Chain A
Amino acid sequence: MTARSGRGYTALTESVADPVLSAPAGRSWWLLFSAGLVLTCVFFGSIFWLFYEGIGIFGNNTSVVWAYPIANYVWWIGIGNAGTLISCMLLLTRQKWRSSINRFAEAMTLFAAAIAGIFPILHLGRPLYFYWLVPYPNTMDLWPQWKSPLVWDFFAIASYLIFSLLFWYVGALPDFATFRDRSRSRAGQLIYGALALGWRGSVRHWAAYETFYKTMAALGVPLVVSVHSVVGMDFAAGNMPGWQETIFPPYFVVGAMFSGFAMVVVLAAIVRRFLRTEELVTRHHFEAMAKILLAGSIVMGLSYGTEAFQSWYAGDDVDRTVVAFQYTGTYAWLMWMQIACNVAIPQLLWLPAARRSIPVLLVIAVLINVGMYLERILIIINTLSRGHLPSMWSSYAPTLWDWLLLAGSLGFFLLLFACFLRLAPAISMHEMRKLVFEGGRE
């Protein structure tokens, strides 16, 4: 499972550092970067138009008051969940295979959570006042409404974002020092040197580092759970059929890990290709992640079943109407597509051959991400289209701007990730070296 010990420390360091410090970017990287850049322009162009024209450009209406922006937010924050999960939980449970994927998974978390944080602002009618969610001294005597899950949400995202940034940075600190030492340009030495904070790799440094990193990891685990639980509570605390369910927080957390892991699979394939690190990110890693995806899909299936069962068992008329609408109504075809993507197709991963085939796994991972997006948008529009008041029943269709913002956010993520691949250590060299050392001793 580890890098082959015979390769040695130098070879390992070279395989991570050289693509960044000396090798030219290459055509495929430029393609990735340009695609990201174009879509990023679409993203910020759409945001400009949104701010200029107002939220009327979305498909939302007076019944379906939440739609794509909130679904985008939940989807992105879900993707942002897996990085910290891999880093913290797998570190604490001593899953050594995490070392070759945790760094870019953390970067994914950071970028996804940052993009997620933009969308709640975009869905506001008056986005310029978003900072009213912050408790700060002001001449209006304005203070956040602590009973509102939206305020909890703000704190959950903010603390998660700060934590992810710090955890990613602390994890990369010794690797920045390696970059500093290997960098041949003065600018590289200065920038990586400043980022390395004077790291010399002394025993005292390492002792303090290990304690600090493990403590942070222990702090991160409750954060992973809390951030998406609070997202679940945004819905569960609302008085709407299909939302007001106690299953929501854990169901959202599992969904987030599920979609996040699927995204890690996609990115692992990209990293492998662009950095030519097939020896570091091996088929074994893909197989381990495939097993987690399989477990996730089973829990998702169970959650969907529980939701439907509970609404039938509770016997509430409005709840039953919403569930019936979910499976037979306007958007039923999307619901069945969601179940196919999230529950049915991942069952292929029971077959060892499917787990070991990267193309098959890649297709399944992309389908899971599509399925999880469908889940998020359907949770919103099914409930809002069939609320308590039949006179308010409605239906929803996204507009061009809804699509452009979604596509643009994907492009912005791609751009950030492409920059990350060219500027930072995409694989944790110091943790891989430890594995090489332990492999050599065995």
Chain B
Amino acid sequence: MPQIFRPGANAYARIVLVCLVTVPVISILVVYVVMGSSFVTGQNVFVDQSPPFSHQHHVGALGIGCKMCHVSVEKSAFAGLPTTHVCMTCHSQIWTNAPMLAPVRASMAEDKPLKWRRVNNLPDYVFFDHSAHVKNGVGCSSCHGAVDTMPLMEQAKPLTMSWCLSCHEAPEKMLRPEDQIYNLHWSPPKDQEEKGKALIAHYAIDPKHLIDCSVCHR
């Protein structure tokens, strides 16, 4: 009887055996890396806006504070976006004919709000509350980065659940004193461990319950 397989078949058999183990492991790792990459999370991607509003110019160069435009950040879940009237507070006086600002003037004339594109988007099943964070020692830049250096807005952090949990599991690492909340260049001091514990007491945070499902999901 002639041979059914050529000698090379042995090599194929060995490759298949190795693949049976390695392919599942490698594919899981590849999927993990892809799911955490900016390709999926949208991190560090500039989002085009009309008009092309620059935080770098308004916050960094002119020194306008966060709450000037995001008025409800301390009071509600939504930080709020400025009405056209807020823009026009200044732009009815300066750059009144700048072509770049045509959409703002159109919005004013037609009484239709500006259409901004969302940069930091959480899924609908996450009930994020700005006021709960800002009033309890979490500063703007912890999630949004140093917006005063961004010519156009980008998502500074991955916004994955494990990223949220990194702080919810150990809030003392990121808590700030009340006067540092709007400091866009705050970084943890050397004695953050101790200060953080004091701040947990100051804000009356119960860290035990910060990673309960219902804190963010209902």
Contacts and interface: CB of A to CB of B under 8 A. Distances in A.
- A and B from one complex: yes
Interface of A: 136-142, 180-181, 189-190, 193-194, 197-198
B28 interface: yes
Given A197-B13, A198-B10, A198-B13, A138 B165 contact: no
Given A190-B4, A193-B4, A137 B13 contact: no
A136 B10 contact: no
B161 A137 contact: no
Interface of B: 1, 4-5, 10, 13, 28-29, 32, 35-36, 41, 158, 160-163, 165
Contacts of A140: 160-162
B158 A139 contact: yes
B161 A141 contact: yes
Contact of A141 (B1, B10, B28, B165): B165
A136 B32 CA distance: 9
A137 B32 CA distance: 6
Contacts of B161: 139-142
Contacts of A197: 13
B162 A139 contact: yes
Pairs A-B, 4 closest by C-beta atoms? A141-B162, A140-B161, A139-B160, A137-B32
Name, among A141, A181, A194, A197, the residue most crowded by chain B CB atoms within 10 Å (CB to CB): A141
14 contacts: A137-B29, A137-B32, A139-B36, A139-B41, A139-B162, A141-B165, A142-B161, A190-B4, A190-B5, A194-B13, A197-B13, A198-B5, A198-B10, A198-B13
A139 B32 contact: yes
Do most interface residues of chain A lie in helix, strand or loop, or is the interface mixed? loop
Name, among A138, A139, A140, A180, the residue most crowded by chain B CB atoms within 10 Å (CB to CB): A139
A189 B35 contact: no
A148 to B, nearest CB: 14
A198 B35 CA distance: 41
Contacts of B158: 139
A56 B63 CA distance: 57
B17 to A, nearest CB: 9
Nearest to B2: A189
A142 B5 CA distance: 47
Contacts of B13: 194, 197-198
B63 to A, nearest CB: 37
Nearest to B17: A197
A138 B10 contact: no
Contacts of A194: 13
A279 B4 CA distance: 33
A139 B35 contact: yes
Nearest to B16: A194
Nearest to A190: B4
Contacts of A136: 28, 32
A189 B4 contact: yes
Contacts of A193: 4-5
Contacts of B35: 138-139
A140 B36 CA distance: 10
A138 B162 CA distance: 8
Nearest to B164: A141
Name, among A190, A194, A197, the residue most crowded by chain B CB atoms within 10 Å (CB to CB): A194
A190 B36 CA distance: 43
B125 to A, nearest CB: 12
A138 B41 CA distance: 13
A166 B24 CA distance: 18
Contacts of B165: 141
Given A197-B13, A198-B10, A138 B4 contact: no
